[in-house]
Chain A
Amino acid sequence: MIKSYCFIVCLLALIFVPGCGGNKNIHVWPPESGIMGPDENLIVLLPDPDGHVGQVTVTGAGGSQVITQAGYGCGIYPGNKAVTAPRAIDEESIQEIFGKALEIQPELPLHFLLYCKVDKAELDDPSIALIPEIMHAIKERDSVDIGIVGHTDTRGTKNYNYELSEKRALAVKNMLLSEGVHPDVLEITYRGEEDPLIKTGDNVYERRNRRVEVIVR
């Protein structure tokens, strides 16, 4: 009985002492004698470019911490590798430490969706009109890494649709080549009906699934 009691206490201690979890509560800094300084490893959460805030779990030798708030960070002591509880890191420190890395951070890749005519590799007119925009993005970014991904709707057999999606991707490839894009920078993939934008049953016409995605990185 005493043994099992001890076991439960130990288990609870294991769960709560490393301080995992929500981190909405205010943590006292510095937790020991440490001051935030150049001799500290640091992990800071920022909002995504679209404003959404995700989360990171930092696991060191001395336990684990979850950061869920943008602008919060955990330190890790070089010696004992203990991960400190998340604390607010001011903008000035972020700039001072990470300014150079943030400055050279590339823009996010651009994704374009081009739609095709039913059972054809040919693009519809509004999609053809998007080609100059794609060319502009390629030039503006000096892109040497462009993905072209062909898709179909679920009308027809899987094998047929693989071939059709390949033809669609190749049609767009040829359009970009004729605009002067170097063949080496294009990467063609095709997924048939396997990766629909809109989920449908089998044998369903759906314009939004008859598409070619162009990714300009």
Chain B
Amino acid sequence: MRSTNVLILLLFLLMSSICVADDGTVKTVGSIKAVEGTAFIIRNGDRLSASAGHRLFENDLLQTGQDGSMGVILKDDTVLSLGPDSAIVIDEFVFSPEDGQLSIVTKMLRGTVSYISGKISKLSPESARFQTPVATIGIRGTHFLVKVLDEEESQQNAGDEPE
């Protein structure tokens, strides 16, 4: 029994690694439509200055400064916009309705966000998730706003010396 479990686990791991390899090819998940003030894309540790027309990829971290805001459209028609001092990661984005592969997971770290759900949440509500440090939001075809306090950072900042 135990060895069967291990086998299943191994198979699962193998399959998931194959999936990663498949999706590992650079596939755009959407683009930036508008930017105001300071805004960045953090990609593989590099900080790129964000501007309208920039393409977005899975795992991109979108970040705005104190004077910044940014609007984004993803491939499934999800519309995301960030207010000042905000950060959100497009953690997972798979939009292949032809073979039934759908998934959108966004992780908001702080700030304010407006989210209009797209096709993925229409076709498969359970495949659309919005995570914050304090709560997970399940989405059923809708528009919502989220404000997340930056607890950790404010605590860290309190202990740090100003530059």
Q: Chain A interface (Cβ within 8 Å of chain B)?
A: 39-49, 52-61, 67, 73, 76, 78, 81, 83, 94, 97-106, 108-109, 141-142, 144-145, 147, 187, 189, 191, 194-195, 215, 217
Contact = CB atoms under 8 A, between A and B. Distances in A.
A44 B145 contact: yes
Closest 7 CB pairs of A and B: A54-B142, A101-B83, A57-B138, A106-B33, A100-B83, A60-B135, A54-B141
Given A98-B114, A104-B70, A109-B77, A78 B151 contact: yes
A143 B116 CA distance: 19
Interface in B50-75: 52-53, 55, 69-73, 75
Contacts of B105: none
Contact of B72 (A55, A106, A142): A106
B137 A57 contact: yes
A81 B135 contact: yes
Majority secondary structure of chain A interface residues (helix, strand, loop or mixed) = mixed
Contacts of A97: 112, 145, 147
Contact of B71 (A43, A60, A106): A106
Interface in B110-163: 112-114, 116-117, 132, 134-149, 151
A43 B146 contact: yes
B17 interface: no
A124 to B, nearest CB: 25
A29 B145 CA distance: 20
Contacts of B135: 41, 43, 58-60, 76, 81, 83
A188 to B, nearest CB: 13
A48 B143 contact: yes
19 contacts: A43-B146, A45-B143, A54-B143, A56-B139, A59-B138, A78-B134, A98-B147, A101-B69, A102-B145, A104-B70, A105-B114, A106-B34, A106-B72, A106-B79, A108-B77, A109-B77, A141-B33, A145-B28, A217-B30
Contacts of A102: 81, 114, 145
Contacts of A78: 134, 149, 151
Interface in B8-67: 28, 30-31, 33-36, 52-53, 55
B113 A101 contact: yes
Contacts of A105: 71, 79, 81, 114, 116
A180 to B, nearest CB: 16
Given A41-B132, A43-B135, A54 B140 contact: yes
B77 A101 contact: no
B71 A55 contact: no
B64 to A, nearest CB: 9
Given A56-B137, A145-B55, A41 B77 contact: no
B86 interface: yes
Given A101-B81, A217-B73, A45 B149 contact: no
A104 B145 contact: no
A44 to B, nearest CB: 4
B145 to A, nearest CB: 4
Contact of A56 (B31, B83, B140): B140
Contacts of B36: 104
